[in-house]
């Protein structure tokens, strides 16, 4: 049962990712990416990471994708990429290179036999466990994240200003 659910959700994720890469229309690609992010959120939930699943939906599907769709609608890039590609041969080289990378990833991940393939899920993925970790062991990176977000906000405002 769990295997069947995993296979279905994984197939949806891979199909949506392929749709993002292969479709010509950028807004369709953005919607494919939303499907992909949602299915990854489902996978987080099946891994026992409930908090991360909800954060995925809120942060990625909610905030980041809204930014993307907004940028696509402002820039209207649908007319680009319709002409003939001047470097088609070079770009098609990406397919064998990607296959090579995939094999290498599988080799790297499958090569090392980790301890206890299915360890009992001792720690939960609820808000409490994550919060305890974030505010004790990872407190400094957590505070640095706030500085990073502030810097990103100031940078985006500076770049988006009309006249310098």
Partner 1 sequence: MVPESYYVGLSAILFTIGVVGVVIRRNPLVMFMSIELMLNAANLAFVAFGRRAGNPDGQAVAFFVMAVAAAEVAVGLAIIVTVFRLRRRLSVDDLSLMRW
User: CB 118 → partner 1: shortest distance, Å?
Assistant: 6
Q: Do 37 and 58 form a contact (C-beta atoms < 8 A)?
A: no
User: CB 95 → partner 1: shortest distance, Å?
Assistant: 7
User: CB 17 → partner 1: shortest distance, Å?
Assistant: 4
Residue 57 is a binding residue for partner 1 (CB under 8 A): no
Of 28, 29, 35, 27, the closest CA to residue 11 belongs to 35
- Give the span between the Cα atoms of 133 and 131, in whole angstroms: 5
In the list 42, 102, 111, 143, the residue contacting partner 1 (rule: CB under 8 A) is 102
Q: How far is CA 22 from CA 19, 31, 66, 67, in A?
A: 5, 13, 21, 21
DSSP, collapsed to helix, strand or coil, labels residue 87 as: coil
Residue 73 is a binding residue for partner 1 (CB under 8 A): no
Q: Do 124 and 51 form a contact (C-beta atoms < 8 A)?
A: no
- Give the span between the Cα atoms of 58 and 143, in whole angstroms: 21
Residue 3 is a binding residue for partner 1 (CB under 8 A): yes
Residue 33 is a binding residue for partner 1 (CB under 8 A): yes
Residue 85 is a binding residue for partner 1 (CB under 8 A): yes
Residue 109 is a binding residue for partner 1 (CB under 8 A): yes
Which 114-143 positions form the footprint of partner 1 (CB under 8 A)? Answer: 114-125, 129-130, 133-134, 137-138, 141-142
Residue 149 is a binding residue for partner 1 (CB under 8 A): yes
In the list 84, 86, 89, 140, the residue contacting partner 1 (rule: CB under 8 A) is 86
């Amino acid at each position: 049962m769990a295997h069947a659910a995993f296979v279905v959700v994984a197939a949806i994720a891979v199909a949506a990712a392929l749709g993002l890469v292969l479709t010509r229309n950028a807004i369709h690609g953005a919607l494919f990416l939303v499907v992909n992010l949602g299915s990854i959120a489902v996978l987080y939930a099946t891994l026992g990471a409930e908090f991360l699943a909800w954060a995925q939906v809120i942060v990625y599907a909610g905030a980041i994708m809204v930014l993307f769709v907004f940028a696509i609608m402002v820039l209207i890039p649908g007319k680009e990429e319709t002409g003939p590609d001047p470097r088609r041969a070079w770009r098609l080289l990406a397919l064998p290179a990607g296959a090579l990378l995939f094999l290498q990833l599988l080799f790297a991940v499958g090569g090392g036999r980790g301890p206890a393939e299915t360890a009992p899920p001792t720690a939960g993925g609820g808000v409490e466990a994550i919060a305890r970790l974030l505010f004790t062991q990872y407190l400094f990176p957590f505070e640095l994240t706030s500085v990073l977000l502030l810097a990103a906000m100031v940078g985006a405002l500076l770049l988006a200003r009309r006249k310098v």
